[in-house]
Amino acid sequence: MTQCDLKGLLRNELGSNMTILAMNTAGTFSGFYHTVVAATNKQILESPLQGIRQHPSAKKHPTFGFTVQWQFSDSTIAFVGQCFVDHCGKETLESTWLLREEVLSHKDTWKAPRVGTSIFTFIK
């Protein structure tokens, strides 16, 4: 695997899994996300993701962004972050996420967003 090509199976610190499929030359990618954390009584389903990585260049630690369309709730989540490679070649994706939940009116907008961070590591 090329460093920071983002392809493969990853897991975050809470145990959620993400599979990123092949990336094209423009840096766009797709895949699937299976969260283990959700505020729902519905069955949690694997959900599609779409993203883009900073154009390949001499940079060792590219930035990226992707969105997940949850298949089990009325919310969408966007992740932005950066890939880091340590001195042993271990890659991690450090990200910040913003989730927007559907609300019934603009008066309830204050309770619609949630924000957090996640660190993903590749599972080999």
Task: Give the span between the Cα atoms of 78 and 71, in whole angstroms.
Answer: 15
Asked if the structure places residue 90 within a domain, the reply is yes
| Distance, C-alpha 20 to centroid of its chain | 9
Residue 99's domain is classified under what CATH number? 2.40.128.30
pTM of the model as a whole? 0.88
Task: Give the span between the Cα atoms of 53 and 83, in whole angstroms.
Answer: 10
Q: Is 4 left (phi over 0), alpha (psi -120 to 50) or beta?
A: left
Asked if the structure places residue 117 within a domain, the reply is yes
pLDDT digits (tens, 9 = 90+) for 8-49: 999 999 999 999 998 888 889 999 999 987 766 778 789 999
Asked if the structure places residue 108 within a domain, the reply is yes
Rounded to the nearest 10°, the torsion over CA 53, 65, 82, 46 is -100
Asked if the structure places residue 112 within a domain, the reply is yes
Total number of domains constituting the chain: 1
Asked if the structure places residue 1 within a domain, the reply is no
Quick one: pLDDT at residue 1?
46
Asked if the structure places residue 2 within a domain, the reply is no
Asked if the structure places residue 3 within a domain, the reply is no
pLDDT digits (tens, 9 = 90+) for 63-113: 999 999 998 888 899 999 999 988 888 889 999 999 998 899 999 999 899
Quick one: pLDDT at residue 58?
56
Range of the domain at 57: 8-122
Quick one: pLDDT at residue 41?
76
